[in-house]
Structure 1
Amino acid sequence: MLEWEQDYLWKFIIKTTAEPYILPYTSDHPRHIHRNIPYTALLRAARICSDVTDFNLECIRIDISLLLNRYPPQFITQQFDRFFNLNHAMPVLSELHEKIYSRLHQKLLYQPTRREKQLQTMMKDPVRTPAVLQPKIWDRQLMFPRYLFDSALSINFRQELSKWRKENYAFLSSPVKHVKVRLVANTNRTLEKFFIHKKPTREILTKIET
């Protein structure tokens, strides 16, 4: 670690106002939610930071924030490698390659987010109907069963269900072989869900018929 990195790390640790505000690793949530947190944080950093040095400082901050929230170091390393591998930018992680980071920054900066894609789709619709109010087409080849997630009991439920389905329903002559199953985890209710209610968007409020 370079000297300026050590100074930045030390300042971050002793700063009393540096509170971790991300989902703790010990929370009762499916693991894919924890995997998305480092990726989303790195994605946001790559969009905001135009210089590779600033991006590296932000990576250090993300790393420390994850450690403070009890994310295992091996898990953090895997998710960092996943981000740079998927975006073909491993030299940025290993040697802070400026030209490759510049391409990464430009690529992610102009890549539309999910909300922007939904807005573009809505703008193409002449009626400008929000996606949540549009009728959904029933796809017979896709299922979204729900289950109650519990980190103590159902941590391996996805793998066990997939194995059971392949043995009993997804064999070669099965009529439901090509049906895809997308499990949706329902987490336990928290105080936040009891006391905090999100206000509907303006599109939904103005679209409701009186």
Structure 2
Amino acid sequence: MVAIQNTHPHPQDGQLCTTVYQKPSYEPYYLSFNSIHPLDMKKNIPFAKLLRTIRYCSTFQTYLNEREKLRMALLVNKYPNKIIDEQFNNALLKFGINESLTLINYNRSRQKIIDFPIKEKLLVNYDKTIFVHFV
């Protein structure tokens, strides 16, 4: 099957399921936790990647598989377990999900994340706005 919008659709038990698409050249390397980048930038990686995993994985089992692949990739990149767990929890809390994802609540929680309204970016009128950058 063909990948659509970073998802990998595949038949499973007579239904069409989706999971995260990985290019054939994919390598599990993200910004190293030991880099000099700001901490909030490094914390955003597990946060954003988990939300992507939830949005793209249509079944609880594929979510569990992808979440563990993500955890392993983050550990390879020196992310502490404490930061990974904290950011995984923060990702759920952002959408008002106060419980761990289970087989019973996965579809409901996933739909809540998918349906969450996206903030529109404010348009900047560059003709009337001056940006000053100090180095």
Shorter-chain TM-score bucket reads: 0.5 to 0.7
Q: What amino acid sits opposite 1:90 in the alignment?
A: E
Question: Could you tell me which of 93, 97, 106 is aligned with 2:103?
Answer: 97
Partner of 2:45: 37
Q: What amino acid sits opposite 1:104 in the alignment?
A: S
Q: Secondary structure at the match of 1:50?
A: coil
Distance in 2 between residues matched to 1:136 and 1:48, nearest whole Å: 40
Q: Residue 82 in 1 paired to residue 90 in 2?
A: yes
Question: Could you tell me which of 53, 58, 61 is aligned with 1:50?
Answer: 58
Q: What amino acid sits opposite 1:47 in the alignment?
A: R
Structure 2 residue runs without a partner (length 5+): 1-24
Q: What amino acid sits opposite 2:100 in the alignment?
A: P
Q: Pairwise mapping of residues 2-81 of structure 1 onto structure 2 (< 5 A)?
A: 19-81=27-89
Structure 1 residue runs without a partner (length 5+): 1-16, 122-130, 139-144, 149-210
Q: Residue 111 in 1 paired to residue 116 in 2?
A: yes
Q: 1:102 to 1:23 in 2, by over 3 A?
A: same
Higher Rg of the two aligned structures: 1
**1:120-156 deviation per Cα after TM superposition (whole angstroms, max 9, x unaligned):** x7xxxxxxxxx24456789xxxxxx9787xxxxxxxx
Q: 1:23 to 1:103 in 2, by over 3 A?
A: same
Higher strand share: 2
Q: Is the 8 A contact 1:38 1:80 kept in 2?
A: yes
Q: Is the 8 A contact 1:91 1:97 kept in 2?
A: no
Q: Is the 8 A contact 2:48 2:91 kept in 1?
A: no
Q: What amino acid sits opposite 1:69 in the alignment?
A: N
Higher helix share: 1
The structural deviation recorded for 1:60 is: 0.3
Distance in 2 between residues matched to 1:86 and 1:77, nearest whole Å: 14
The structural deviation recorded for 1:35 is: 1.1
Distance in 2 between residues matched to 1:146 and 1:73, nearest whole Å: 36
For this pair of structures, how many residues does the alignment match?
109
Q: 1:147 to 1:73 in 2, by over 3 A?
A: farther
When normalised by structure 2's length, the TM-score is: 0.65
Percent identical: 29
Distance in 2 between residues matched to 1:89 and 1:97, nearest whole Å: 15
When normalised by structure 1's length, the TM-score is: 0.44
Coordinate RMSD, CA, aligned: 2.9
